Amino acid sequence: MKHAQESTAGNAVPGWITFLLAASCGLIVANLYYAQTLVGPISAATHLSSGAAGLIVTLTQIGYVIGLLFVVPLSDIIENRRLTVTSLAVVVAALVAATLAPNAPLFLAASLFIGLGSVAAQILVPYASYLAAEEHRGRVVGNVMSGLLLGIMFARPLASFVSGLWGWHAIFAISAVVIALLTILLSRVLPKRQPTPTMNYGGLIRSLGTLLKNTPVLRRRALYQASLFGTFSLFWTTVSLRLADAYHLSQQGIALFALAGVAGAVAAPIAGRLADRGWTRPLTGLAFVLAAAAFLIAYLFQDDSKVTLGLLVVGAIILDMGVSGNLVLGQRAIYSLGNEARGRLNGLFMAIFFIGGAIGSSLGGWAYAYGGWGLTSLIGLALPVLAFLYYLTEKKQV
């Protein structure tokens, strides 16, 4: 297969390119989440103490944030297809290492590089916005983000199912093969996108602080999404414990519950289309209302009945709708600021809200250990409420 012809920004994006980018983002970002439901068996197999088991997830997150801050900005000066392929090669090597790791230090090192290389997904999202004309940018970004969000939401239940069949190594081995094939495909068919560098790498990294200081839209949208992703992470970090304790669900039952969240990804393309029509501001407020409503339901209904379990499923769906919809709104807003800094803007945006997710996970674990589901639900309710109060200070559409 020959290389696709170099694309020009502003042309209509072929449907197959949008689908390929969406599927790619989903497959890549899923690697960040496979280990979350497998912490127990991985720590046992690698002789990692229970107190240090959280490092399995934490180091992947740290690698991802490092990549967002120091690799994604390179998309503003390096040809995007080549940068994507290089990052994916790192992921493949790290997945193979994780599959074969005989001890904790090697597995943890592999986890760090899985996170680092998986920022390829955040090179592809602004790449997609570059390909799209302004009037279609929200729709294209929404469609690509729906693929990324489906990857996030399917990763946990898929890892549980595969681990139940073939052991925890299998999901990393399977993903290594899939990402290797994807790397070859993308290297052959993606249009080239060669940015026009306006500074060297050192200047690029130094400019991150300046961009954050001088771009109020970026600060506001990043804080909006950090609060919602913190709420999201708090929920999904603790709900498996709640499901096991209150409803006595097995790992397979918890995996099925996690599939309910997939329905929330439908909000991403819808939000993108409505943002193209100028609905960004009201939809942002709606996202906070949905997230708060999810935790209000969780707090008000805490018995162990099937009805309450059903309400918890509803809560999971509307929470994921709020988070995924607002993510697209935020990315469309910052991608509209200009082509030359889009990679850096995206890296800062993602890094800030991913840090919010890490804080949410930590808060969730602490709250559930010391205050049970009631305290966890109250904290989950407080985050979007505080963000909504901040949203009310917005003087113009962001």
Q: Mind listing the pLDDT tens digit for each residue in 113-131?
A: 999 999 999 899 888 877 7
pLDDT in tens, 263-320: 877 787 888 888 888 899 999 999 999 999 999 999 999 998 999 999 999 999 999 8
Q: What pLDDT, on the 0 to 100 scale, is given for residue 13?
A: 65
Q: How confident is the model at residue 7 (pLDDT cuts 50, 70, 90)?
A: very low
Residue 240: domain span? 15-391
Mean pLDDT of the chain: 86
- Does residue 3 lie in a domain region? no
DSSP annotation of 30: G
For the ranges 8-12, 182-186, 237-241, 257-261, the lowest mean pLDDT is seen at 8-12
343 and 126 Cβ atoms separated by less than 8 Å: yes
Q: What pLDDT, on the 0 to 100 scale, is given for residue 224?
A: 96
**CATH number of the domain within which 326 lies:** 1.20.1250.20
By the 10 Å C-beta count (0-12 exposed, 13-18 middle, 19+ buried), 270 is classed as: middle
- Does residue 55 lie in a domain region? yes
* 262 or 372, greater pLDDT: 372
Residue 339 has pLDDT above 70, yes or no: no
Q: What pLDDT, on the 0 to 100 scale, is given for residue 259?
A: 82
By the 10 Å C-beta count (0-12 exposed, 13-18 middle, 19+ buried), 273 is classed as: middle
DSSP annotation of 201: H
| 372/236 Cα distance (integer angstroms) | 15
Total domain count, the chain: 1
- Does residue 321 lie in a domain region? yes
Residue 398 has pLDDT above 50, yes or no: no
* 112 or 334, greater pLDDT: 112
- Does residue 396 lie in a domain region? no
- Does residue 260 lie in a domain region? yes
- Does residue 2 lie in a domain region? no
Q: What is the pTM of this model?
A: 0.78
Residue 100 has pLDDT above 90, yes or no: yes
- Distances, alpha carbon 292 to alpha carbons 23, 211, 316, 378, in Å: 30, 31, 11, 10
Q: What pLDDT, on the 0 to 100 scale, is given for residue 52?
A: 66
- Does residue 7 lie in a domain region? no
Residue 65 has pLDDT above 80, yes or no: yes
56 and 48 Cβ atoms separated by less than 8 Å: yes
- Polymer length of the chain: 398
Q: What pLDDT, on the 0 to 100 scale, is given for residue 111?
A: 94
Q: What pLDDT, on the 0 to 100 scale, is given for residue 9?
A: 47
- Does residue 352 lie in a domain region? yes
- List, as one string, the DSSP characters of 69-125: HHTGGGGGTS-HHHHHHHHHHHHHHHHHHHHH--SHHHHHHHHHHHHHHTTHHHHHH
